[in-house]
Amino acid sequence: MNAREKEQYLREYYVLKGKGKPFFPYTIFKDGAMATLVLVVIIAMTILFGAELGPKADPTTTTYTPRPGWYFFFLFELLRVVKPPALVFIATVGIPTLCLVLLILLPFFDRNPERHPLRRPIATLAGILTIGAMAYLTVEGAVAGSPTEIDMKVSPTLEPGKAVAASSGCLGCHKIGENGNSGPGPPLTKVGARLPKQAIARTLLNPTPPMPSFSRLKQRNPKEFTELVTFLSSLR
């Protein structure tokens, strides 16, 4: 905006402000009504949904799938969309930081003096698209399961082992292909090339902490344990 546009805005605003009503009692009344509604909604949600408390945090478990608060679903989902490890930092830090910088600098690159949403179609469209993208990512993040699926092609004989690995929470700490988290455990993508089958089984039974032992799985269901070892040793 140049000096003339600024001056014109201030003049117009002065006229419109003169036409307005005093803050007290008119605005106070509206704000008060809205505040009451907010309080009612908070209390209604409290009564309807309560405040559940899950089981106590257990840092040694691996079967638990992390879920953030719903308002972080869009960031979470962004992370799931970007899978190649070299690009992960783009999803975790790059895109959010870029969006934030754009948001802060908005008044400096949008210098159009027009304020009506229909008279600045680019800004309005960009806003609607951003909201749409965030809503889409939030919904996807909400319905998407957790990292309990391993998205890779294996021969049918290895499928049962893949299912066991997926449901055992390995992906919470390990990477298998492009699935799972890159830490704290080492990637398992080529574990079969690093370790012979017996060594994999030994590690599963006597792992390095904080990884939990799979000896209970072996006692309860030796077949699943063997399938898991077969699947892991096939990764090379």
Partner 1 sequence: MKLLPGPLRRRRGAAAEDGRPAGAPVDGDLRRGNGALVQDREEEAERRRRREAAVEVPISVAAWVDERTGSGPFLRGLLYRKVPPSNWFYTLGSATMFAFLSQAVTGVFLAMYYRPSATEAYTSVQHITNDVFLGQFVRGMHKWGATVMMILIFLHMGRTFFFGAYKYPRELNWIIGVVLLVLTMVMGLTGYLLPFDMRSFWATVVAVNLNSSGPIIGPYLADFLRGGAEFTSVTISRFYAIHMLLVPGLMAALIGAHLYLVIKLGVTAPPWMKAEKARELAKEEI
Q: Kindly identify the residues of this chain, within the stretch 72-111, that bind partner 1 according to CB under 8 A.
A: 72, 75, 79, 88-89, 92-93, 100, 103-104, 106-108, 110
Cα separations in angstroms, 188 against 26, 175, 176, 179, 194 = 65, 6, 5, 10, 9
Question: What is the distance between the alpha carbons of residues 163 and 165, in angstroms, rounded to a whole number?
Answer: 5
Query: Closest distance between partner 1 and the C-beta of residue 55, in Å?
Result: 5
Helix (H, G, I), strand (E, B) or coil at 31: helix
Cα separations in angstroms, 51 against 7, 39, 48, 127 = 53, 17, 10, 34
Of residues 13 and 136, the one with the C-beta less far from partner 1: 13
- Is residue 151 a contact point for partner 1 (CB under 8 A)? no
Query: Closest distance between partner 1 and the C-beta of residue 215, in Å?
Result: 22
Of residues 137 and 158, the one with the C-beta less far from partner 1: 137
Stretch that binds partner 1, among 16-24, 148-156, 194-202, 224-232 (CB under 8 A): 16-24
Of residues 10 and 143, the one with the C-beta less far from partner 1: 10
Which of 79, 83, 73 lies closest to 139 in space, CA to CA? 73
Of residues 21 and 220, the one with the C-beta less far from partner 1: 21
